[in-house]
Chain A
């Protein structure tokens, strides 16, 4: 099936992280992962930190680790607004590993509710990076 491409951009507070034409997206929403294809209904959704996969026009797929944020689907294209966005090749695996163990440690001894929530968020970020880095066969 010939797939139609649409404009896609990832925006972080530190600048535009990716911009290009894609045919399919796979995003981590608050309520689970979902896909976006061309001519998706206009939508605004909250995203959790996790893996973002994008299929390019030539069929290649790329993976990014992204932070919390939003996705905005319009007829003209898709915009993703996230705290951070690391392409797979730029992920520092050992640092993410360390962050993961640290976050787990903190999550375990529950001193206050807030710290727990924070540790959980940190853990999610580390997991996003690790699972992105672990995806086989992607750029």
Chain B
């Protein structure tokens, strides 16, 4: 029995120290989450301004065309940007992303694709499963707009090349006809949704938005546009794309921290429960030995009497 008690004591101690670690990680994730949320809020004015510019251009200058908005008739190859995390212990965060990717790819059947990964976990996961076209450097946490712009530039270039739909090279051009991004949308601290969005071709401005832009443009009709609206659009489109990549990265980061916080909270709670159970077991074992010893003593005394 003494052996069993020693073992129980040892287990209680180890679970207690695990609980300390998970609680600390939970707190770290909470702080990081707050930081990411601040970052995401900082990005909002820029995103809003880009949107209002798009609406303004759409409303002021009739029909504008950008090669980035044109959908291909036949999609021969797609690019997929997968945003995961660098570190684990964040619950099903990465698993959800990978599941989304699998579902999406099986949906597209035999369509060839190029895979781009952001985050160490995504890179490691796909290293043995699917051919990765390019893994962006790890350290999702050091993300900044520059990185997002680089990614946006690269996929834009691929998209503009096309998958040879029009060219004679027959798929050898290395371009793609659609670009999608898989990320985790941050809805609230308790809710994150794994999402797949089409980056390119850029979806046409929703009619409602255009209407709002046109109404706003009524008193903006005197607005000078320099250089021409078309040229402005050509500058605006890549910016808005880069901003969407950046926003997806920010959302993913916030979601990762939220997921980690939840996972660590669950682990801390589970550890607490385990400590309770183990302590009860330990106490019972201890009481048993005491009772046994008492019985021995009483038995001995009775035998003497």
Interchain nearest-CB distance for A36 vs B (Å): 12
Interface residues of A (CB under 8 A from B): 11-16, 29-31, 41-46, 68-70, 72, 79, 81, 83-84, 114, 118
For B145, what are the chain A residues with a Cβ–Cβ distance below 8 Å?
12-14, 83-84
A125 to chain B, nearest CB (A): 10
> A44-B232, A70-B236, A81-B46 are known contacts. Are A13 and B243 too (CB-CB below 8 A)?
yes
A14 contacts B39, C-beta separation under 8 Å: yes
What are 11 A-B residue pairs whose CB atoms fall within 8 Å in the complex? Answer: A11-B46, A13-B47, A13-B148, A14-B42, A14-B43, A15-B45, A41-B222, A43-B224, A68-B235, A81-B239, A84-B146
B223 at the binding interface (Cβ < 8 Å)? yes
| Whole-angstrom CA separation of A50 from B223 in the bound complex | 24
Instruction: Give the CA-CA distance A40 to B53 in the complex, in Å.
Output: 19
At the interface, is chain A mostly helix, strand, loop or mixed? strand
B141 interfacial by beta-carbon distance below 8 Å: no
Binding site for A on B (CB under 8 A): 39, 42-43, 45-47, 49-50, 53, 56, 144-146, 148-149, 153, 157, 220, 222-227, 231-232, 235-236, 239, 242-243, 246
Instruction: Determine whether the beta carbon of A29 is less than 8 Å from that of B226.
Output: yes
Whole-angstrom CA separation of A5 from B286 in the bound complex:
81
Distance in Å: Cβ of B131 to nearest Cβ of chain A: 23
**How distant is B109 from chain A, measured CB to nearest CB, in Å?**
31
CB within 8 Å for A16 and B45 given contacts A44-B232, A70-B235, A84-B145: yes
Determine the distance from Cα of A25 to Cα of B56 in the docked complex, in whole angstroms: 23
Q: Which 7 A-B pairs have the closest CB atoms?
A: A15-B42, A43-B224, A13-B145, A45-B226, A42-B223, A46-B235, A13-B46
Q: Compute how far the CA of A79 lies from the CA of B53 in the bound complex, rounded to whole angstroms.
A: 12
